[in-house]
Amino acid sequence: MANSTLLSPSRQQQPAAPAPVPAVKRRLPASRIAATVVVAFLAALWLLPFGWATITALKSETEAAATPITFFPASGFTFEAFAKVLAEGNIPQWTWNSLFTSAAITLVTLVISALAAYALSRIDFKGRKLLMGIIVASLIVPPPVLIIPLFYQMVSFHLIDTYWGIILPQVIAPAMVFVLKKFFDQIPHELEDAARVDGAGRVRIFLQVVLPLSRPILAAVAIFVFIGAWNNFLWPFIVTNDSAMLTLPVGLQTIKSAYGIQYAQNMASALLAALPLILVFLFFQRQIIKGISTTGLAGT
Amino acid sequence: MSTSTISRRNAAPAAAPNGTARAASRRRDTLHGWGFMAPFMAFFVLFLIWPLLHGAYMSLTGKSLTGANDSFLGLANYAEALADADMWHSLGNTLYFTVISTVPLVLVALAMAGLVNMGLPAQWLWRLSFFAPFLLASTVVSLFFTWMFNPQLGLLNELLAMVGIPPVAWLNNPDVAMWSIVIATLWWTVGFNFLLYLAAMQNIPAQHYEAAQLDGAGGWRQFFSITLPQLQPTTIMIVILQVLASLKIFDQVYQMTGGGPGGATRSTVQYIFETGFTGYRLGYSSAISYIFFGLIVLVSIAQFFITRKRSA
Amino acid sequence: MKQQQRLPEAPGRRQFLTGMGALGALLATGSLTACGGAANAAGPEDVRFWHLLSGGDGIKMAAMIDKVNASQRAFRVTPTVLAWGPPYYTKLAMASVGGRPPEVAIMHAARVPGYAPGGLLDPWDLDLLAQHGVREADFAPRIWENSKEGGKVFSIALDSHPFIMMYNTDTAAKAGVLRGDGRLEAISDPATFKAVAAELQKVTGKHGLSYGYLGDGAQMWRMFYTFYKQHGADFELVQGSRAKVDRDVAVDVLEFIAGLLDDTIATRSGDGGTAIAEFAGKASGMFFSGVWELPTMKAAGVPLDAQPIPTLFGTPAAFADSHAFVLPHQLDLNEERRRSVYAFVAEMLKGSLRWAEAGHIPAYQPVVRSAEYQALKPQAHYAGAADIINYDPRAWFTGSGSDFQAYFAENVQNVFLGRIKAKDGWDAFVKRLDTLLSKPQPV
A213 touches chain C (CB under 8 A): yes
Per-residue confidence (pLDDT) for residue C24, from 0 to 100: 57
Nearest chain C residue to A245 by CA: give it.
C34
The stretch C118-143 carries a mean pLDDT of: 94
The stretch C309-329 carries a mean pLDDT of: 94
> Chain A residues with CB inside 8 Å of C26's CB?
103
Q: Is the pLDDT of residue B234 over 60?
A: yes
Chains that touch A (3 or more CB pairs under 8 A): B, C
Contact B251 A53 (CB under 8 A): no
The stretch B17-25 carries a mean pLDDT of: 75
CATH topology of domain A89-255: MetI-like fold (1.10.3720)
Per-residue confidence (pLDDT) for residue C34, from 0 to 100: 44
User: Confidence band (pLDDT; 50, 70, 90) for A15?
Assistant: very low
Chains that touch B (3 or more CB pairs under 8 A): A, C
User: Confidence band (pLDDT; 50, 70, 90) for B227?
Assistant: confident
The stretch B278-283 carries a mean pLDDT of: 91
B274 touches chain C (CB under 8 A): yes
> Chain A residues with CB inside 8 Å of B91's CB?
none
The stretch A231-251 carries a mean pLDDT of: 95
User: Confidence band (pLDDT; 50, 70, 90) for C37?
Assistant: very low
Per-residue confidence (pLDDT) for residue B146, from 0 to 100: 94
DSSP structure string for C12-37: PHHHHHHHHHHHHHHHHHHHHHHTT-
β-bridge partners, A255: C82
Q: Is the pLDDT of residue A102 over 50?
A: yes
- CB burial of C273-294 (b: ≥16 within 10 Å; e: otherwise) equals eebbebbbebbbbbbbbbbbbb
User: Measured between CB atoms, which of B68, B262, B278 is closest to C443?
Assistant: B68
Report d(CA A295, CA B196) in Å as an integer.
10
Nearest chain A residue to B143 by CA: give it.
A270
Chains that touch C (3 or more CB pairs under 8 A): A, B
User: How far is the alpha carbon of A162 from chain B, nearest alpha carbon, in Å?
Assistant: 16
The stretch B217-245 carries a mean pLDDT of: 87
Per-residue confidence (pLDDT) for residue B83, from 0 to 100: 92
Per-residue confidence (pLDDT) for residue B173, from 0 to 100: 87
Picking from C89, C97, C149, C411 by the largest number of B CB atoms within 10 A of its own CB, the best residue to mutate is: C97
User: How far is the alpha carbon of C90 from chain B, nearest alpha carbon, in Å?
Assistant: 5
In chain A, which among 79-108 make CB contacts under 8 A with chain C?
Answer: 100, 103-104, 107
The stretch A50-62 carries a mean pLDDT of: 92
Q: Is the pLDDT of residue C146 over 50?
A: yes
Per-residue confidence (pLDDT) for residue C316, from 0 to 100: 93
The stretch C389-396 carries a mean pLDDT of: 91
Per-residue confidence (pLDDT) for residue C268, from 0 to 100: 87
Query: What CATH number labels B76-139+187-311?
Result: 1.10.3720.10
Per-residue confidence (pLDDT) for residue C97, from 0 to 100: 94
> Chain A residues with CB inside 8 Å of B5's CB?
121-122, 185, 189
Per-residue confidence (pLDDT) for residue B149, from 0 to 100: 94
The stretch A32-37 carries a mean pLDDT of: 88
Residue with the bigger pLDDT between C197 and B7: it is C197
Per-residue confidence (pLDDT) for residue C148, from 0 to 100: 93
Residue with the bigger pLDDT between C6 and C18: it is C18
Contact B8, A189 (CB under 8 A): yes
Domain boundaries, chain B: 76-139+187-311
Q: Is the pLDDT of residue B7 over 60?
A: no
Size of interface A-B (CB pairs under 8 A): 329
Write down the pTM of the prediction.
Answer: 0.87
- CB burial of A77-91 (b: ≥16 within 10 Å; e: otherwise) equals ebebbbebbeeebbb
Least confident of C20-34, C157-171, C309-323, C367-381: C20-34
ipTM of predicted complex: 0.88
Element containing residue B78 per DSSP (H, E): helix B76-82
Per-residue confidence (pLDDT) for residue B1, from 0 to 100: 41
Per-residue confidence (pLDDT) for residue A75, from 0 to 100: 79
Per-residue confidence (pLDDT) for residue C33, from 0 to 100: 44
Please state, rounded to an integer, the average pLDDT across all residues of chain A.
86
Name residues whose C-beta falls within 8 Å of residue C285's C-beta, 6 or more positions apart in sequence: C167, C168, C171, C172, C175, C197, C200, C201, C203, C204, C208, C209
Contact A104 C101 (CB under 8 A): no
User: Measured between CB atoms, which of A104, A213, A258 is closest to C58?
Assistant: A258
> Chain A residues with CB inside 8 Å of B26's CB?
124, 126
Q: How far apart, in Å, are the Cα atoms of B218 and each of A35, A143, A263, B118, B179?
A: 15, 47, 51, 14, 36
Q: Is the pLDDT of residue A189 over 80?
A: yes
Name residues whose C-beta falls within 8 Å of residue C432's C-beta, 6 or more positions apart in sequence: C407, C410, C411
Per-residue confidence (pLDDT) for residue C137, from 0 to 100: 94
> Chain C residues with CB inside 8 Å of B66's CB?
93, 97, 118-120, 442-443
User: Confidence band (pLDDT; 50, 70, 90) for B262?
Assistant: confident
The neighbour count for residue A190, using CB atoms within 10 Å, is 11
**Domain C45-158+322-389, architecture per CATH:** 3-Layer(aba) Sandwich (3.40)
- Do you know the residue count of chain B? 312
> Chain A residues with CB inside 8 Å of C83's CB?
254, 256
Residue type, C326: V
The stretch B74-79 carries a mean pLDDT of: 92
> Chain B residues with CB inside 8 Å of C403's CB?
278-279
Q: Is the pLDDT of residue C328 over 90?
A: yes
User: How far is the alpha carbon of B191 from chain C, nearest alpha carbon, in Å?
Assistant: 30
Establish whether domains C45-158+322-389 and C163-319+402-438 are of one fold: yes
Each residue's pLDDT tens digit, B201-218: 988 888 888 888 888 877
The CATH superfamily label for domain C163-319+402-438 reads Periplasmic binding protein-like II (3.40.190.10)
User: How far is the alpha carbon of C176 from chain B, nearest alpha carbon, in Å?
Assistant: 39
Most confident of A66-70, B267-271, C1-5, C117-121: B267-271
Report d(CA A226, CA A232) in Å as an integer.
10
> Chain B residues with CB inside 8 Å of C118's CB?
64-68, 280
Report d(CA B72, CA C391) in Å as an integer.
35
Q: In chain C, what percentage of residues exceed pLDDT 70? A: 91
Per-residue confidence (pLDDT) for residue C20, from 0 to 100: 55
The stretch B59-85 carries a mean pLDDT of: 88
Report d(CA A188, CA A281) in Å as an integer.
32
The neighbour count for residue A3, using CB atoms within 10 Å, is 27
Contact A21 B127 (CB under 8 A): no
Question: 3-state DSSP call for residue C85?
Answer: coil
- Do you know the residue count of chain A? 300
Q: Is the pLDDT of residue B261 over 90?
A: no
Picking from A111, A153, A256 by the largest number of C CB atoms within 10 A of its own CB, the best residue to mutate is: A256
User: Confidence band (pLDDT; 50, 70, 90) for C27?
Assistant: low
Contact C58 A208 (CB under 8 A): no
Q: Is the pLDDT of residue B65 over 70?
A: yes
User: Confidence band (pLDDT; 50, 70, 90) for B252?
Assistant: very high
Contact A125 B34 (CB under 8 A): yes
Q: Is B68 exposed, middle or buried (0-12, 13-18, 19+ CB in 10 A)?
A: middle
Report d(CA A258, CA C327) in Å as an integer.
21
Contact B206 A25 (CB under 8 A): yes
Please state, rounded to an integer, the average pLDDT across all residues of chain C.
87
Residue type, A229: A
Report d(CA B271, CA B84) in Å as an integer.
11
The neighbour count for residue C136, using CB atoms within 10 Å, is 12
Per-residue confidence (pLDDT) for residue A2, from 0 to 100: 40
Per-residue confidence (pLDDT) for residue A145, from 0 to 100: 93
Nearest chain C residue to B282 by CA: give it.
C442
User: Confidence band (pLDDT; 50, 70, 90) for A55?
Assistant: very high
The stretch C104-121 carries a mean pLDDT of: 93
Per-residue confidence (pLDDT) for residue C42, from 0 to 100: 61
Domain boundaries, chain C: 45-158+322-389, 163-319+402-438
Picking from B3, B30, B32, B140 by the largest number of A CB atoms within 10 A of its own CB, the best residue to mutate is: B140
User: Measured between CB atoms, which of B51, B127, B213 is closest to A146?
Assistant: B51
B278 touches chain C (CB under 8 A): yes
User: Measured between CB atoms, which of B51, B125, B240 is closest to A149?
Assistant: B51
Domain boundaries, chain A: 89-255
Q: In chain C, what percentage of residues exceed pLDDT 90? A: 64
Report d(CA C162, CA C52) in Å as an integer.
18
